Chain A
């Protein structure tokens, strides 16, 4: 299940859906939910604006889900990502991975969120309570995390 939407999502319902989809097959379901947090300790975030590349976004997320499904024998997998204007503490992203064993489910879930952060065409603009706003820069640490996953063949094209 791959969804890119402006509306909020129900992480409980998504978890229940993954559980139902993989009933009997999955011994473990690991989910991750990302929230809008304050950008720094000293400045509160008022709005996080998320821009995306429609079409390519869904395509990249589908490919990542396929990679994870093959690599860790997932019985079900979901990625839901919001776009548009988000408020402080809003949900941004949901990732869920169901597999026979917890090790595979944990790894698949972590891979999906790591790879998504450096592959899927989303861009964040922070608007601080002070009125200052700026486009968030990609962190080298995030790239390093994605690279640690041993990079499938088409992973290499992600970064120069």
Chain B
């Protein structure tokens, strides 16, 4: 075993003698950290259909799982022995339901400005959200499987960006009817087979395919998104913050940018603005003309 070379892979939680240790991050600098993880909850058709068909109940289950995920991220360091306590700036949990496969896909996003990464927090968040779904559905299907818990993306710190092998961009955090999804960059077949879940904050559904939200990106936002404009599937009114959350989940490189601004129909807008079908929404960093 050669763990003497500093540039070859080694277990950071084992010292030179092979003894367990906590990594000393005292000398590391704080940077903006982002991690996106996913987990899949796979249940039988009976359990899935019962949940999916229960408008109110579905929202209750998913909202409970969402809150559980946020709490779990905050307590990660208490359960994982060598995990550092760190200040979380954001924990977000999104769900996507697939009636064909009876899967609930959970995506967690964690952010922090700190000296070490937030992937453990994100892994914990989606794991516990998944277990909460299991807990609330196990009376109907004891054979529910929690699987495929993994890191999709992380950024920040010495190692920079990392994207899970096989992914060109992380999957949408939410593919739903009551919440919009960016469809331009994804095959139509995939869009059609991912009906998703209405937002737990039960909004009225709008007719599918009515009108889209036209998104335009400028300057660094366009570079990070890799596109200058695209059309968002229309579903229901959503706030500026909800739109930004979805964009950050789709384009994790945007997440560290932080202070993103919006203009709706070519007018500056606050993040609490309600975006409607047919709106043109511009996303950009603070302006720097003159």
Closest 3 CB pairs of A and B: A122-B289, A123-B219, A138-B286
Indicate if the CB atoms of B290 and A53 lie closer than 8 Å.
Answer: no
Least CB distance from B268 to A in Å reads 5
Indicate if the CB atoms of B289 and A93 lie closer than 8 Å.
Answer: yes
Indicate if the CB atoms of B287 and A122 lie closer than 8 Å.
Answer: yes
Considering the chains assembled together, what is the distance between the CA atoms of A154 and B271 in angstroms? 15
Contacts of A137 in B (CB 8 A): 285-286, 288
Considering the chains assembled together, what is the distance between the CA atoms of A136 and B261 in angstroms? 15
Looking at the complex, which one of B268, B269, B287 makes contact with A138 (CB distance below 8 Å)? B287
Contacts of A50 in B (CB 8 A): 289
- 6 further A-B contacts with Cβ under 8 Å, apart from A53-B266, A120-B287, A121-B287, are A52-B289, A56-B266, A81-B290, A135-B288, A138-B288, A143-B286
Chain A contact-residue range equals 20 to 34
Known A-B contacts A56-B263, A121-B218; the reply to A136 vs B288 at CB < 8 A is: yes
Contacts of B287 in A (CB 8 A): 117-123, 138
Indicate if the CB atoms of A117 and B285 lie closer than 8 Å.
Answer: no
13 A-B contacts (beta carbon < 8 Å)? A113-B290, A116-B289, A118-B287, A119-B268, A120-B289, A122-B287, A123-B218, A123-B219, A125-B219, A138-B288, A159-B261, A159-B286, A160-B259
Considering the chains assembled together, what is the distance between the CA atoms of A27 and B153 in angstroms? 62
Contacts of B271 in A (CB 8 A): 160
Least CB distance from A153 to B in Å reads 13
Indicate if the CB atoms of B290 and A34 lie closer than 8 Å.
Answer: yes
Contacts of B263 in A (CB 8 A): 53, 56, 121
Indicate if the CB atoms of A157 and B288 lie closer than 8 Å.
Answer: no
User: Nearest A residue to B265 by beta-carbon distance?
Assistant: A56
Indicate if the CB atoms of B284 and A121 lie closer than 8 Å.
Answer: yes
A158 is an interface residue with CB less than 8 A from chain B: yes
Contact with A along B251-276 (1 / 0, CB 8 A): 00000000101010011111100000
Most-contacted residue by chain A among B219, B220, B261, B289 (CB, 10 A): B289
Least CB distance from B197 to A in Å reads 29
Contacts of B259 in A (CB 8 A): 160
Least CB distance from A2 to B in Å reads 13
Contacts of A92 in B (CB 8 A): 290
Contact with A along B26-64 (1 / 0, CB 8 A): 000000000000000000000000000000000000000
Considering the chains assembled together, what is the distance between the CA atoms of A116 and B288 in angstroms? 9
Considering the chains assembled together, what is the distance between the CA atoms of A135 and B288 in angstroms? 9
Most-contacted residue by chain B among A123, A124, A135, A138 (CB, 10 A): A123
Contacts of A158 in B (CB 8 A): 268
Contacts of A123 in B (CB 8 A): 218-220, 284-285, 287-289
Contacts of A59 in B (CB 8 A): 266-267
A43 is an interface residue with CB less than 8 A from chain B: no
Looking at the complex, which one of A53, A60, A154, A159 makes contact with B216 (CB distance below 8 Å)? A53
